[in-house]
A and B are shown apart, each in its own frame.
Chain A
Amino acid sequence: MKRCFRIDERDNVATMLTDASQEVVEVVGAADYPTVEVRGQAPLAHKVALREIPAGGRVIKFGVAIGVATKDILPGEWVHLHNCRSQVDERSSKFEDGIESGSEANYA
Chain B
Amino acid sequence: MPESNLGFLRQDGRKGIRNYVLVIYTVECASHVAMEIARSEPDTHVIGFPGCYDNAYAIRLMLALARHPNAGAVLAVGLGCEYTQPAMIAEAVRNSGRPAEWFYIQESGGTTASIAKGKAAVQAMRKAISASVPRVPVTLADLTIGSECGGSDGTSGLAGNPVTGRFFDFLVDAGGTAIFEETVEMIGLRETMINRAATPEAAIQLSHAYDKAVRYCQSVKQYSISPGNFAGGLTTIEEKSMGAFSKSGSRPIQGVIRVSERPPRPGLWLLDSVPDDHFMQFGYTNPNDSEGVLDLISAGAQIVIFVTGRGSVIGSPVAPLVKLTGNSRTFERMRDDMDFDAGRVLTGEISLDGAAAELRDLIVRIAAGAQTRPEQLGHREFFIPYKHQDTPGLEAGCHA
Contact = CB atoms under 8 A, between A and B. Distances in A.
Most buried by B among A44, A45, A47, A88: A45
A88 B239 CA distance: 11
Contacts, number: 95
Contacts of A92: 222-223, 225, 236-237
Interface string B200-231: 00000000000000100110011101110010
A1 B171 CA distance: 37
A107 B214 contact: yes
Main SS of chain B's interface residues? Answer: helix
A37 B294 CA distance: 45
Contact of B232 (A45, A84, A91): A45
Given A64-B192, A95-B230, A86 B238 contact: yes
Interface string B154-188: 11011000000000000000000000000000011
A105 B154 CA distance: 25
Contacts of B347: 17
B187 A89 contact: yes
A80 B42 CA distance: 49
Given A17-B347, A80-B235, A86-B237, A95 B227 contact: yes
Interface in A63-97: 64-67, 79-81, 84-89, 91-93, 95
A23 B155 CA distance: 22
Nearest to B231: A43
B158 A15 contact: yes
B44 interface: no
Contact of A61 (B223, B242, B329, B348): B242
A86 B301 CA distance: 34
A33 interface: no
Contacts of B217: 89
Interface in B107-132: none
Interface residues of A, number: 35
- Interface footprint category on B: 20 to 34
Given A64-B192, A66-B242, A108-B188, A85 B233 contact: no
A81 to B, nearest CB: 6
Nearest to B347: A17
Interface of B: 153-155, 157-158, 187-188, 192, 214, 217-218, 221-223, 225-227, 230, 232-233, 235-239, 242-243, 246, 309, 327, 329, 346-348
27 contacts: A15-B158, A17-B347, A44-B154, A45-B153, A45-B154, A45-B158, A45-B309, A46-B154, A46-B233, A47-B235, A59-B235, A61-B242, A62-B243, A64-B192, A64-B238, A66-B239, A66-B242, A79-B235, A84-B235, A87-B238, A88-B223, A89-B223, A91-B222, A91-B223, A95-B226, A105-B218, A107-B214
